[in-house]
A and B are shown apart, each in its own frame.
Chain A
């Protein structure tokens, strides 16, 4: 009990409060702060997303409510709250109403382990990286429960696709996530950030970052992997029967999940709060994390708004025949090379306190291996692309021939 009581708790205890009450109050404030950050952020995120999408599509976007449309989301929220809250009569009432809550909670829970600054984080779990994957699996569950409980065939079809998509892309996601864990020698997110003091992991293993980026784009169900709620095929997918704030919860969960993934990638691969002068003040450290996360978030929005949707068979083939073998090969190569380097004495045994100079040989060797793998992959992709183009061309020629034969 004693060592738990620090900071606000000790202040409260010194001012005469009961020790148990002081601990409870300080923990409560911590929980409220950590869960409050994502709740406030999501209001801004929806506005950012709409503005970015509008700019990419050569529109202006929300610009009526408040300065440059900043209060648009507040207006939307009031609208959603005042809408009729419909539960279809044939729906499974409990599951139907619980699903949006679970969906949103699964994203907010992720923020419990995110280290904002060297000193500010909800909790530094020994298993932080694993916690991230485990909690995210609740999101899959929520979407599927929503799809089934709605008792609507489009919702159910959407739910089917969710299982196929999310469960499949979790495999390369976890394999890519293992690379930073391996490099840092710890699953704690705080340790992973500290281990990047000498060198960011994105430089040590760019391939792992790319795999993680693609898989997390799929995990959030964003284009080109947006077949969960493919409007033109499924009307709206799993959330078709939802109205009012229950729909709003799914909506907010998705937007927040994308940004959370940006922050997670910044922590795992881009050194989290690391940056010039981060040790001067926690605010500077926090700003670095926000800037890196925000930049990655922006690229995901960019991708979402510029690429078309893939077919489900293309998505599955891409995952199981390309991403999964690649992520496994990458993990084996990285772990093998790292171990050999450590045995030969070129790499520091403990990454946590390694400096830039100590890491330089490891970086160069790992980069070389990554480069070789990328080069080989690009060769495969080029060959595949050429075959696909020839096939498409052939099909087109056959079609034209058939057409002209019918004409005669």
Chain B
């Protein structure tokens, strides 16, 4: 890998992503764990910038750090004994098998053309803009069906959450 701004950025953001992830699973403190999670998510936002997708980077920060991680912190603050967790997760074998299986599936998906052809494309000169992204989401030749399905799923989840949280007497 030649040394230029992009490769330096890649190394920095990888340190953020992996370092944050290691921090999440090793810290004994739940609140610090959520902060490490934010560091990791921030690194992923950096990857999106390197991939010329600034919109996704901003959404990553806005949704994952600004909303989801903040809500996790809120939930953590409501739990008892945030600071020194004594219980250890001891079922190491199932988690080892699970993560290994996941890693292998990812590795196969990237290298072996099971899910469609994965011939390494040459990098296109044309960089898609946010406008293209928006158009692709509502274009019938683009991603309108997955987009609508995801919308329906999210709406259903929201209605479900409201239904569960609703006070019976009200």
Contacts and interface: CB of A to CB of B under 8 A. Distances in A.
A and B from one assembly? yes
Interface of A: 92, 95, 125-127, 130-131, 133-135, 137-138, 140-141, 144-145, 148, 156, 159-160, 163, 167, 170, 187
Contacts of B31: 92, 148
B77 interface: yes
A140 B66 contact: yes
A308 B73 CA distance: 30
Contacts of A159: 77
Given A140-B66, A140-B70, A141-B65, A131 B58 contact: yes
A182 to B, nearest CB: 12
Contacts of A141: 38, 65-66, 69-70
A134 B66 contact: yes
Contacts of A160: 74, 77
Nearest to A95: B35
Contacts of B67: 137, 167, 170
B62 interface: yes
B70 A187 contact: no
Nearest to B82: A148
B44 interface: no
B71 A167 contact: yes
B61 A137 contact: yes
Contacts, number: 63
5 contacts: A92-B31, A130-B59, A141-B69, A167-B70, A187-B130
B66 A137 contact: yes
A133 B62 contact: yes
Interface in B3-37: 29, 31-32, 35
A127 B65 contact: no
B59 to A, nearest CB: 7
A295 B7 CA distance: 46
B143 interface: no
A163 B58 CA distance: 20
B35 A145 contact: yes
A160 B71 CA distance: 11
Given A126-B54, A126-B129, A126-B130, A137 B35 contact: no
Nearest to B129: A126
